[in-house]
Structure formats: C-alpha cells, structure tokens
Amino acid sequence: RKEVEQDPGPFNVPEGATVAFNCTYSNSASQSFFWYRQDCRKEPKLLMSVYSSGNEDGRFTAQLNRASQYISLLIRDSKLSDSATYLCVVNGYSSASKIIFGSGTRLSIRP
C-alpha cells in the first residue's frame, strides 16, 4: 500500500460545478497536511494547508479526518482555470524525508 494515495482521475466537470476529492495516508503519526496544485509541465505550487478544524480559502475548502486518515479538498463554483493536477502532501514529524507527495488527482473543467 502506498503511503499517500489519491484517485488519479481525471475528474471532468462542467464550469460552475462543485468537485471534491480525497487523499488517504497510511502513517497515523503524520503531522501536517497540504494541498499543492500543479499545472501541466509546471512546478507544484502550494494551494493551502489543511488544519484539523478544517479551513477555507475562497472557493476552496480543505478538511482533515485523522480517525479515517484522509484529507479532502472541495472546490466550489469551479472555473476553467482550476484545471490542473492536485497533489496532497503528508508530512511526518521533524523529517524532510517524511514529506510524501501523492501522485495527484487530475481535474479538468469544461466550458
């Protein structure tokens, strides 16, 4: 089993729709969680951190479920510009080598 697993997609949704995807992790000692966005042939860029209480940034909402060991990302009112690959990142404690990226979920927004 991979340490961090994501549905590769692609998720193909119409503009304006709400879309959500999850990321599961295997190490219960994981300490911090993030979502990154990566456009085709570009570098990953930090989208948002994921806090235990859940957090929202505009149209994006991230949540953490420690009991079931998954994080989620919800995108409301999706825009064409949201088309990208979304990478979840899970970090162990005090160790850079424990930073694990998922393989990414590909999202495509159609007009």
Partner 1 sequence: DTGVSQNPRHKITKRGQNVTFRCDPISEHNRLYWYRQTLGQGPEFLTYFQNEAQLEKSRLLSDRFSAERPKGSFSTLEIQRTEQGDSAMYLCASSLSPRYNEQFFGPGTRLTVL
> Going by C-beta distance under 8 Å and a sequence separation of 6 or more, which residues neighbour residue 41?
none
Among 1, 28, 29, 43, binds partner 1 (CB under 8 A): 43
Q: How far is the CB of 102 from partner 1 (least distance, A)?
A: 5
| Three-class secondary structure of residue 1 per DSSP | coil
Applying the rule CB under 8 A, the residues between 5 and 24 that interact with partner 1 are 8
Applying the rule CB under 8 A, the residues between 53 and 92 that interact with partner 1 are 87, 89, 91
Alpha-carbon span 111 to 93, nearest angstrom: 42
Among 42, 66, 79, 110, binds partner 1 (CB under 8 A): 42
When asked if residue 109 is in the footprint of partner 1 (CB under 8 A), the reply is no
Alpha-carbon span 39 to 49, nearest angstrom: 18
The piece of 10-18, 39-47, 58-66, 71-79 that touches partner 1 (CB under 8 A) is 39-47
> Going by C-beta distance under 8 Å and a sequence separation of 6 or more, which residues neighbour residue 95?
none
